[in-house]
Amino acid sequence: MTRAVPIGFDPLNGDQAARVYSSFGYSDGLGMVTTNPGGFMMTAGFAEKATELYNFPVDKNDVWIVTFPKAGTNWVSEMAWLIGNDLDYSGAKKSLDMRVRLFEKVHQGMICSLERTRLNSLKPPRYIKTHLPFYLLPPKLLDTSKVCCQFFTQPAKIT
C-alpha cells in the first residue's frame, strides 16, 4: 500500500528564488520548492519523488545515520560501519561511499532524487546516511530499523 506524503511543496517566492539561485550560480532551471510545513528546501524534481521516498521499504537490520550536512556524517558513518562489522579494517579499505550509501541524490548542492537502485544493491545490514529531516523519511523508520543514529550539532557552527 502506497501512502500519500503528509506535506505540501510550495515554489520559492521571487526574493527567495533570487537569493538561492545567485548563491548557487544557476538559474531557475531546477525549480526550487520548500516543504509545507517545515520549510525544507529542495528541487521540484525531488518533490516529485517524495512518495517513493516516503514509501521506501525499511528493514529491521538497516542502520540509518541522520545528520545535518557538514556535521560529521562521514565520521559517524565510518564509526557505525566499523562497530557493526566487528572492526573489520580490511573491509573498511573499500570506499565509504560504497559501504554507507546516501539515501538522496544531490545535484549542484541540492537534493533531487532517491538513490533506490544503489540502496537496493547493498546486502543487509544496509548502512544508509541522509541529511533529510525525519518528516521526509519513511514513517516506520524508527519503529523498524535496528539502529538509527541522529547526530546533532549547533547549525551555526557548521561551515
Q: Which residues are catalytic?
A: 131
Cβ atoms 109, 24 nearer than 8 A = yes
Residues 91 and 82: their CA atoms lie apart, in Å, by 9
Residues 109 and 89: their CA atoms lie apart, in Å, by 31
Tell me 109's DSSP state. T
> Rounded to 5 degrees, what are φ and ψ at 78?
-65, -45
> Rounded to 5 degrees, what are φ and ψ at 87?
55, 45
**What is the DSSP track for 26-55?**
--GGG-EEEEETT--EEEHHHHHTHHHHHT
Residue carrying the nine cell digits 543514529:
149
